[in-house]
Amino acid sequence: MLENANFSGVIAPVLTPFGEDGAPDPDRFIEHAEWLMGDGGCTGLAPFGTTSEANSLGIDERMDLLEELVESGMEPLSLMPGTGTTSLSDTITLTQHAIDLGCGGVLMLPPFYYKDPSEEGLFTYFAEVIDEIADDNLRVYLYHIPQVAGVGFSVDLVARLRGEFPETVVGLKDSSGDWSNMKAILDRLPGFELFTGSELYLLDTLRHGGAGTISAAANINGPMLRRLFEECEEPGAEALQERVSAFRRALQPYPTIPVLKAIVAHYRNDPAWAVLRPPNLALEPDRAAEAIRELADRDDFRLDFPETA
């Protein structure tokens, strides 16, 4: 397990609730974030990741929600908001805003619209963001999800960015599902804060010097993930990893964001939580009920949210 990391443990890409007007709902957002950092078992939060429907949000909406979260009393150093966009100027704006609020880091996608950008172009993009911000407090976590973004980070590019900006480019979320890629980065860059995007690889990640997981499932399964993080060197860690993996596999037949929102809506007894922003749509009621039953039969899973006024 990685020692003295800026971030480590279990980080949730926080689900974004929407109100009747279709706008993000800051009250529900803050309530869920506070639960995640308490009974939800998380050590940090990554609002505006993929699970947060970040690319369906405008930059003003992201900044307003982040301000509301910090103003609610959430510790900024526990926050790693997503700031990577296709626009260099928007990425700089979002990143500067996060730093101004005191966030502990930012999670940054590569620019993802243009086909097959060169490594030199990708390096230049990140270099310009870092040079423009020019703040010693900036901590960048690269976001590698090539199967969705269409653009990823080669091991060589990660090493080059780390070598050029060793105090700034400090980690990476690897959502590729390719353990060999994660291991190659960990082997080449000791001390680099690598987070697996899939908890299927959490124990391997920790035992090879990684920092933890940034997982969609942390929105509902944080306590089990936190236990595996804390007990990764204990004799029962392999069995606990099997339980974690079985839970993850039970979710895989369903679209990730809709099923997570359906589960939260069910246990909060709040149908508004099931709403997604188009083009994403809520899970059909029968499929949602099926997923909820499947998880309820697994380790007696349920969520105990506090009563709301």
Catalytic annotation, pick one of 143, 213, 254, 261: 143
Per-residue DSSP letters for 81-122? -B---S-HHHHHHHHHHHHHTT-S-EEEPPP-SSSS--HHHH
- Give the distance, in angstroms, between the CA of residue 113 and the centroid of all CA atoms in the same chain: 21
Tokens matching residue 190: 């000791």
Cβ atoms of 139 and 104 within 8 Å: the answer is: yes
Look at residue 28 and give its three-state secondary structure: helix
Residue 46's DSSP bridge partners are none
Sign of the CA dihedral running 137, 17, 270, 70: positive
Is 93 an annotated catalytic residue?
no
Is 50 an annotated catalytic residue?
yes
Closest listed residue to residue 105, CA positions, set 138, 152, 134, 133: 138
Is 213 an annotated catalytic residue?
no
CA–CA distance, 117 with 102 (Å, rounded to integer): 32
Catalytic annotation, pick one of 113, 114, 124, 308: 113
Q: What are phi and psi of 252, to 5 degrees?
A: -65, -30
CA–CA distance, 12 with 82 (Å, rounded to integer): 12
Catalytic annotation, pick one of 95, 173, 254, 261: 173
Catalytic annotation, pick one of 50, 85, 91, 95: 50
Is 183 an annotated catalytic residue?
no
Catalytic residue annotation: 50, 113, 143, 173
